[in-house]
Every structure is written in C-alpha cells, then in structure tokens.
Amino acid sequence: MHEVSIALDLLNIATEQCRKSGYSKIEAINLKIGRASGIMPDALIFSFDAIKKDSLADTALLNIEEVPVSGECSDCSSKFTVDEEYILSCPVCNSNSFNIISGREMDIIDMEVS
C-alpha cells in the first residue's frame, strides 16, 4: 500500500511549511488527486489518519477532490473526459491516439493552519 509513504511525505511537507510560516497547528490539508494517479483516496485518508498522531496535524482533516481523467485526441482534436481511471480510445472517433490532459496529478492545493 504505497499510500502510507505518500501520507508520510505529505505530512512531512505540510509540517515543514507550517513551521516555516510560523504556525503551530495544521487544521486541514486540501488535495487534488487524479483518478488515474494510482492513489486510492480512502487508503490515503486512512494512512494519513494513522500517522498524524503526535504531530502538528494530529487533528487535521485530509480533504480530497478527485480530478477526472481528460484527454485530447491526436486525430480529431476532440477534448473529452471519461468516468473510468483510464482511456482506451477517443469517444468521438474511436482513435487510440490521444494525450492525457488531466487525471494523473496529486497536488497540495492549500492548508488551513493556526
């Protein structure tokens, strides 16, 4: 379960930024995670909750906004979004030549601190 190492890195980054900015408590961390990132949001929240004890984030919430998978077809130039975690072909022309525009990311959007 690689979410544990991601949660640990996330906690370390958030703690470092919190301390650098002169704050002493992390209330919430807000993330955007792509559906094709390979990260399971529930597992990440579970992992974060398990490792945050006795840290600046011991009562913090981890808020996750899932980003859908979007692509642009190389043949017909259509831009599209799919409900699945992966794209097999362009839904307009059925070409399997496309670029993924979004859905693979994991971004820390902001933190709520005090």
| 80 falls within a domain | no
Q: Domain of 109: which CATH number?
A: 3.30.2320.50
49 domain-assigned: yes
**Domain with 39 in it:** 3-68+103-113
Total of domains in the chain: 1
Pairing of strands 69-73, 106-113: unpaired
Q: What is the mean pLDDT of residues 98-111?
A: 95
In a domain, 63, yes or no: yes
Q: pLDDT tens-digit profile of 68-98?
A: 999 999 999 999 998 877 778 999 999 999 9
For residue 62, being part of any structural domain is answered with: yes
Residues counted in the chain: 114
Question: Is there a domain that residue 95 lies in?
Answer: no
Percent of the chain whose predicted confidence (pLDDT) is above 90: 92
Does residue 59 fall inside a structural domain? yes
pTM of the model: 0.88
Q: Is residue 34 part of a domain?
A: yes
* Helix pair angle (41-51, 3-20), 10° resolution: 60
Residue 33 in domain: yes
Query: What does the alpha-carbon distance between residue 81 and residue 70 come to, in Å, rounded to a whole number?
Result: 4
pLDDT tens sequence across 44-57 = 999 999 999 999 99
